[in-house]
Amino acid sequence: MNTLSRHLVCAAIALGSSLSPLAFAQQTSTADGVFTQGQVNQGETAYNASCAACHDMKFYRDIWSYWEQRPLEGFWFRIVSEMPSDNPGSLLDSEYTNILAYILSELGYPAGTTELGPDNDMSDIIISKR
């Protein structure tokens, strides 16, 4: 075995031994029930008060393919930083999160038992295809 081959074998062994079982764990996705029905109910109220005048659910259905396979946190940050358009960032984080739960529910994602929140590793939740 030549020197290059030995280095490649050693690198492969080192890489393989450095990968923990957690590296192969399945990611959480929006299909896993990452919000509660209570959040959906509160989100519907907040959505109707702050969002529905400009965005019906068809809006989200039309743009949703862009967000699929991306971290949920990115979509949350987008709505926090841009909505409502006349006063972005004016809602409480919990209101934005509940609105997000409502949107996800309307798009067909299931509710679960754990509350969604920006402090609950939303960056680790991938938006699954519908």
What confidence tens digit (pLDDT) does each residue in 30-60 have? 999 999 999 999 999 999 999 999 999 999 9
Which of 42 and 20 is assigned the larger pLDDT? 42
Q: Residue 26 has what pLDDT?
A: 67
CA distance 85 to 78: 11
Q: Judge whether residue 93 has pLDDT over 60.
A: yes
Residue bearing tokens 């020197």: 3
**Ramachandran area for residue 9 (φ above 0: left; ψ -120 to 50: alpha; else beta):** alpha
Q: Residue 68 has what pLDDT?
A: 96
pTM, two decimals, is 0.80
Average pLDDT over every residue of 73-95: 95
Q: Which of 1-5, 53-57, 62-66, 69-73 has the lowest mean pLDDT?
A: 1-5
